[in-house]
Structure 1
Amino acid sequence: MLQTLRTAMLAAPLLLLPGLAAAQAPAAPAAPAAPTSAVRGASPIFDGVRARDHIRCGVSQGTPGFSVPDSQGVWRGFDADYCRALAAAVLGDPNKVRFTPYSAQARFTALQSGEIDVLSRNTTYTFVRDVQLGLEFPAIIYYDGAGFLARRQPGLTSARGLDGATVCVQTGSTNELIVGDFGRANNIRLNPLVMQNLEEIFQALFSGRCDAMNWDRGALAGTLQRAPNPADFVILPEVLSKEPYSPVVAQGDQRWLEIVRWVAFGLIEAEELGITAANADSRLTSTDPGVQRLLGVSGGFGAMLGIDNRWMLNAIKAVGNWNEVFERNLAPLGIDRGVNRLWSAGGALYAPAFR
């Protein structure tokens, strides 16, 4: 009896503390997580693309290897092919794209004003552009670095030998800053001649008005091929900067950003998996889970983006994988893949997991 009374007295204070009792009670089951397919915000750019049934793609005024019209007026190059892959993924047809050329200075305004849906124009991903311009850089699709294309002179083997030279650069590009930084860092005097129009820059270089041109090395390789006598010019060995290229979109449409990002990554993934324009259809029967997800056999990734599940199948059949785009447009200019090799081959090209 005494033991029973003692037990009741010890328990009594707990009866006066309902909060404590509740705290010791088993926790209620957590509410189920919202489904990943939950409705997102508005997609004005994506909706506009679907409504007009074509993509408006901003390209350069003529950068050899990246975006330049051929003799028939058809845009060719690495950047142009990316836009075709995007059109194939989103609209099922690589020809549903309209190309508009922009200078380096005008390209970002075109995005900000809504004139174009995507900029695919050998454009470098930088801090200021990402933070201050109201733009998004969805995926690095090509790695480059600035350099000098110079008129051959006796003893000129290094960019440090350009002391006193007049250097052509394009206004609105990162190259203006690079030339200034290189001159100060090496205590040499470089005289920049800044122009907006690329064709004017090419002619200034070829005619001798400029001693050298500063641009990204991939584009310089194409410029060299355009010279009346390529043997008169040399690309100097220095790589002066990091120039990671990305397609660019305006802020405010998360769905569109994701589509642009994952089409770029999909071309890289296709190369890693050995999927080409020629064998893509036959790979639909592959038992490799990675191949199945990329080609839309499983996973439903297209539906998550609001497009057809065969989105990457369509893109790959239209332009090929990343290496096929490179071999068609840049390899003929004598450009080595270098750091643009796949990560599995010692390079920097890398796609996040499709799973």
Structure 2
Amino acid sequence: MSTPEPRLPAKAAEFARYLRTETTGGLILLAATALALLVANSPLGDIYRDIRDFQLGPHFLHLDLSIGDWAKDGLLALFFFVAGLELKRELVVGELSKFKQAILPIFAALGGMIVPAVVALGIGWGEPGIDRAWAVPVATDIAFALGVLALTGSNLPSSARVFLLSLAVVDDLGAIIVIAVLFTTGFDLVAAAIALVALALYAWLQHRRVRAWWLYVPLAVITWVAVHSAGIHATIAGVALGLLTRVRPDEGEEHAPAIRLEHRLQPWSAALAVPLFALFAAGIEIDGDALASVFTSALPLAIMIGLIGGKVIGILGASALAVKLGFAAKPRGMGWRDMTALSVLGGVGFTVSLLIADLALDGALAEQAKAAVLIASAIASLTAAALLLRRSRVHANAEDPEVTDD
């Protein structure tokens, strides 16, 4: 059962190819973040907040969400679907198809979640809100981190990108589990069962080689609505659908479904889904007093140090321990200085950290936490960019012994 695939006009195809690069996605994301900060702190700030908080959608199934929530719960599901597709491809036929390569990002992600949480709890212990805010620095932003890597680490081996993608996806899955456990106000068993049935049907259709988009699109929507109604953060629906998509092409099939879907949807994710989320999530009001409080209050300091310091210690330390004990192997062609640069890049919390800050805190504490995430993500991005530029130059010279500097 199949339907013909429409072909894009030449100019549209070229524009889609341009949007498909992480460099472009990172630049658009950066522009959306800057625009949100400028508008939120301009005379248009009240209009911006009215638009962000405007509710639309039916009350049925709890879908009467604000525009900001639609961006957070709906558009990010597309982004996580694309990330799930790429991760599935790497696990089955790519860099992570060998166990020791696949297990390293899992160790790194666990270290990159546990250590920042412990650091944040240690610094903010006893502060109002820290009982929930400790979860803010556990996440790594996939889109922003890959954008920085694409801009500054072009000569690094492809295994660097795969390691960072896998680390960030596992990290964000862990963060979503934290969201589900800590910030779910109620759990609907019926909706959860419907989600599981929809996912099983999706997997069965993939197994039967059905290619009819008019079956998959409603099924994906049903899955998203059911996951959302169950009380679980809806982005997990995107990851689950991505991981259930077939990645091996059949005989006579030019591309597997995962490749076709990633090719078609990645431009929409890079140019629409993630930037719109950033546009509504990053618009926090910043004045002199608010900025000063970020550097003088224990809670935002705990978040910043957790992201900037805790991530590096956790990711690099867990990776080194796993390799030393023989459980895992370093990514092909990479040395420990490369791993250090990528560990610093893991401190870019942004998307999911802002999401957790929104869910965990209210009022002034939420604004402080979001400001801390933005400042820490900026510091981590700039530091990692400097390190990656250095490592990229080293890798450009194949004779340089620093390439294998372990």
Q: Settle same-fold status: TM greater than 0.5.
A: no
Q: TM-score, normalised by structure 2?
A: 0.22
Mark the structure with the bigger radius of gyration: 1
Of structures 1 and 2, the one with the larger relative CO (CA 8 A, separation 6+) is: 2
| Superposition TM-score, scaled by structure 1 size | 0.25
